[in-house]
Amino acid sequence: MAVLRDLLAEIEYECIKGTLDREVADIIYDSRKVTPGSMFICITGAIQDGHGYAAAAVQAGASVLMVEKEVELPEEADVTVIRVRDTHYAMVFASAAFFGNPAQEMKIIGITGTKGKTTTTYLVKSILEHAGRKVGLIGTIEIIIGDTHIHADHTTPESYLIQKYFRQMADAGCDTVVMEVSSQGLMLHRTQGFIFDFGIFTNLEPDHIGKGEHKDFDDYLHCKSLLFKQCRVGIVNHDDEHWEAVTAGHTCELETYGIDTEADLRAENITFLREAGNLGMGFMVTGLMNLPVQIATPGKFSVYNALTAIAICRHFGVQEEDVKAALLAAKVKGRIEPVKVSDKFTLMIDYAHNAMALKSLLGTLREYNPHRLVCLFGCGGNRAKSRRYEMGEVSGRMADLTIITSDNPRTEEPQAIIDDIKTGIGRTDGRYVEICDRKEAIAYAISHGEPGDIIVLAGKGHEDYQEINGVKYPMDERVLIQEILEGR
């Protein structure tokens, strides 16, 4: 419960009806969830306009409306109406005040970039917790508050939810939060209302450009750059060609990391590690820190992710031994995640579900000179057929054997999707087998694994379901693997 006047302290507004001394029981931006005594914020969205539900919200018990344009209400309605220029923006500050500005009680780390955000957040969490800190996490896969794991619907949640999670984290004893910051989250003001202690830029590639996202690459870059006007210390990948553009006009201290340049923190003497079915990387950290590091995930991008995490955690005074132990132990669900099934060959799970990601993944695994590179994947239904052709062609060219199977067929016939993938593979000389049932396909991959093989199960990653005709059925590849091994 909070007094409306206090919630508006950081907002420019006009009270066009009612009193500012009302108590607000909650802040709601979905009219279906209005509760008595709540403030309903009318958001103008891409599809729905909350202003059209103002009267219904009052009827459901809302005692305050926040609007940016006129709404029709019964004359006798006992409600306070606050008008602001941008309700989405105002909600940020009202939410922060409602929850008592919890970001001020913790260190907040925000990571933006096209790739690497998810993995890096988990690496940072692992390192800092090895050093004795209690860390909350907000990201693409989940929100973690102590032992509680909440499924994530968006990479960066709505501002109200961010503040709610911050409050829960602070109350649970967290002293640090690490979160993914998407360009959409920055564009829609979801991360306003507080200052990040550390803002991190990983890399930038053309992505999320199109209807409902960013109009062009310049807009995408601009939104990423907003983080560096909202943080105290900026840490950026000096190897990315866009780093100067992303940090133009920054208001924070800046430091850099990288591999190929004279960055402040560098990874040198990089080596590829392979032993008893396990893949990893080794490198020497130089510059602002000096220590040897090994990580249990493959590829140059894994080095970047680890180096990013080290660059952040350096500011927390973490001991070298904690850094080394945490990086070696860290695993991220569904991101080049190793699953031990044999000392003779390697099995990994990865979320690669488009041609660009699959090409990067298979190219990385090729660097380990496998006896055979085996790629198992399917494609989602009710999505562009071009993705199926492209992924089929990538796997056909880069893998020694492709196992085509089902992913999330949704409302399409799985065999029709498989046939489209085969069209793409048909443009190559690649060998393939098709096994529609994903568990049977994984069993085939394991039973036919040869010494020195690298087998990757692509597309599902962290997902623990399979969507068929609108129903999500439980299906976790780790569980399937365990069942297969127990049944052998």
Class of domain 2-98: alpha beta
Instruction: Determine the residue type at 321.
Output: E
Strands 346-350 and 454-458: parallel
Q: For 303-326, what is each residue's pLDDT tens digit?
A: 999 999 999 999 999 999 999 999
How many other CB atoms are there within 10 angstroms of residue 68's CB atom?
A: 20
Query: Which residues, other chains included, contact 162 with Cβ-Cβ below 8 Å and sequence gap of 6+?
Result: 95, 138, 156, 179, 190, 191
Q: Report in angstroms the alpha-carbon separations of 7 from 19, 24, 301, 391.
A: 13, 9, 43, 50
Nearest CA to 107 out of 323, 265, 316 is that of 316
pLDDT given at position 208? 47
pLDDT given at position 215? 64
CATH of domain 337-487: 3.90.190.20
d(CA 297, CA 335): 9
Helix ranges, 288-354 (H): 300-313, 320-329
State the distance between the two ends of the chain, measured CA to CA, in whole angstroms: 58
Would you list the domain boundaries of the chain?
2-98, 102-329, 337-487
pLDDT given at position 206? 60
337-487 shares the fold of 102-329: no
Percentage of the chain surpassing pLDDT 70? 98
Q: For 164-214, what is each residue's pLDDT tens digit?
A: 999 999 999 999 999 999 988 888 889 999 999 999 999 998 654 455 565
The 3-state DSSP class for residue 375 equals strand
Q: What sign results for the dihedral spanned by CA atoms 163, 52, 214, 407?
A: positive
Query: Which residues, other chains included, contact 113 with Cβ-Cβ below 8 Å and sequence gap of 6+?
Result: 200, 201, 202, 203, 204, 224, 237
Task: Please check whether residue 348 is in contact with residue 457, taking contact to mean a CB–CB distance below 8 angstroms.
Answer: yes
Phi/psi at 372 (5° precision) = -140, 145
pLDDT given at position 399? 98
CATH of domain 102-329: 3.40.1190.10
Of the CA atoms within 13 Å of residue 127, those in its CB half-sphere come to 29
pLDDT given at position 464? 94
Residues of the chain below pLDDT 50: 208-209
pTM: 0.92
